[in-house]
Amino acid sequence: MTTAQTAPALPAHVPSPVEPLPNQLLTALGQHRMATTGQLHALLRPHVRRQTVNTPLNELRRQGLVDCTVLPRSRGMRAWYLTGDGVRMVKDFPALRGRPAYPVTSATAASLKTPHTLTVLRTHLAFVADARERGDEHGFLDWTPEVSHSLGDGEKVITDALMHYTLTRAQQRTKLRAFVEVDRTTMSSERLASKLIEYARLWSYEPQLVGRNRSRQSALPGPAWLRWYPVFPRILFVLTGGNRQVLDNRISDLQAMVTQHPLVATMARTVPLGATILDDIEAQGPTSDVWVPLSGGESRPWTEL
């Protein structure tokens, strides 16, 4: 008598916790707006051949999800960005929920955005490389460009990037946050320094709730920034686009604003403020003694401002 054999149950499918590279590329472009092939390579796959990144980028372009513009005087260097279809694809990605990803509508629009956008990402890459070397935590989703905060009466302050960074030492983990301003010397030094006044206003801003919203006021006492941060992020200025003397003068003007403006001076007593030159953090690393404290003192790492 033959007994029927029961087929062995197939093992349950366990999804990989690691996103496929094409998804990571779409997520990175949704997060950072635009990036060159080399920047995406350094951000996502620094230890493999660049072709590993270039091949899926070209496939995503064939699918109509990304496009690129060739940078002038760059020997064919491409800057990649999401198309309208790409934006619709990534808007429901878990990492990008609540993060608007704006499509670049034309090559002309892309060329206007590239200088500043790519310089902000260049700054991020200096922190990424340093974190990898030190064993800290700072990945491509820990840097959010163009973060806006209300100052009331329709006014707002927009930071070039909000950085999250975790120092890891033995059994201790220290979470740091920073508002990062990247200056390419395209605005006057006075206008750059006035950014400190905007941040001081944000630091001190307490919304005045009226009418039906008044009952909520007791639930959210204190400055508005407490809704998002346990402590006010430090403020970092990264300068480029001029010779050493020009950039040093701009740092001096930032220091003068700290001493001359009463609200900025008050904020500086509790909020770390620093400035550096982009070439220096790329050559020596952000945790080297290359940051000038805007309240005075010797240069030091940004983590010790």
pLDDT in tens, 11-44: 555 555 567 899 999 999 999 999 999 999 999 9
Greater confidence (283 vs 50) lies with 283
Q: How confident is the model at residue 218 (pLDDT cuts 50, 70, 90)?
A: very low
Query: Between helices 51-62 and 21-32, what is the axis angle to 10°?
Result: 80
Q: Which of 12-16, 229-233, 276-280 has the weakest average pLDDT?
A: 12-16
Residue 13's identity, in one-letter code, is: H
The pLDDT of 56-73, averaged and rounded, is 92
Which tokens go with 119? 């310089």
Cβ–Cβ < 8 Å for 103, 18: no
Predicted confidence at residue 148, as pLDDT, reads 93
134-168: buried (b, 16+ CB within 10 Å) or exposed (e) per residue?
A: eebebebebbebbbebeeeeeeebebbbbbbbebe
Tell the residue number behind the tokens 């999401």, with chain if given. 82
pLDDT above 90 (res 77): no
Integer angstrom CA distances of residue 145 from 99, 159, 265: 10, 7, 26
SS (H, E, C) 30-78: HHHCCEEHHHHHHHHCCCCCCHHHHHHHHHHHHCCCEEEEECCCCCCCE
Q: What angle do CA 128, 129, 135 make, to 5 degrees?
A: 85
Predicted confidence at residue 170, as pLDDT, reads 79
Q: Which of 14-18, 279-283, 295-299 has the weakest average pLDDT?
A: 14-18
The answer to whether the predicted template modeling score (pTM) of the entire model surpasses 0.75 is: yes
The pLDDT of 258-267, averaged and rounded, is 97
